[in-house]
Structure 1
Amino acid sequence: MTNIQDARSLADMWAMFRAGAIPPQAPNYQVDSMRDAFYGGAWAFSLLLNRAFAQEGDGVGEMLDRVHDEINAHTMATVRAVRISSDEAERVLAIVKHGMPLSDAEEAYIRTLLARDDDDEEPPNQVR
């Protein structure tokens, strides 16, 4: 499976994550640790979602907004820590767009994450 839109289970998502994010020659302990973290994140998200559904009002929407903001903040910190060229940034964007269609606003947001300034005050690889 190569397209996120075809995923029907966490196992499908794990298989795509495994193929795209973990080197094929990675030792078993690394794969096992990554799988534990992957499923741990899914479990944590399911707890948040269940709690949000139990609330009255717009608990689900508010929870999803908070999680979205947290994911974006983590992505921003990660992208700032990894110095990539503009050509590499375009490749990253193409990979993301292949995995899932993006709205114009989402693409613009990702472009801001990938934009960088070589004279940035923060040294590389310093995630805060």
Structure 2
Amino acid sequence: RTAEKIKKELATALRSVNPEIMEIKGRDLESGIPNTIEVNSNEICEAIEESLYQIVNSTKEVLEKCPPELAADILDNGIVMTGGGSLIKDFVELMEKEIGINVYLSQNPLDSVVLGGGAAFDNKKLLQTLQVREN
């Protein structure tokens, strides 16, 4: 519960000159005694940075392998981010900065993956075009 609260309220993809601070209450793992500490958004940014850059780098790899006609569409229309991770503060901005393409947040990021998957299963022709092929 505390980790989810930290993620929703403090997690950020870019460091800040004036980081947000949150008081965290819990049990100290070393002493076993209840304790309160302060955590700031820059510390959380540092903790999740490697994971965020794995997403950035994976996205770059996919874009590098895109056929030219799809690459043109992506340049014209940008990328839409979905899922809970896309809600991390400044993640859209980080992606744009690192990839150099417009990035947008889905209108319904928490449900859009499931809704899109459901639409694909309902449309067999669309599903066939999305099949993964091994090299």
TM-score (norm 1): 0.29
- Looking at CA atoms only, which structure, 1 or 2, has the larger radius of gyration? 2
Which structure has more helix as a fraction of its residues? 1
More strand by share: 2
TM (normalized to structure 2)? 0.28
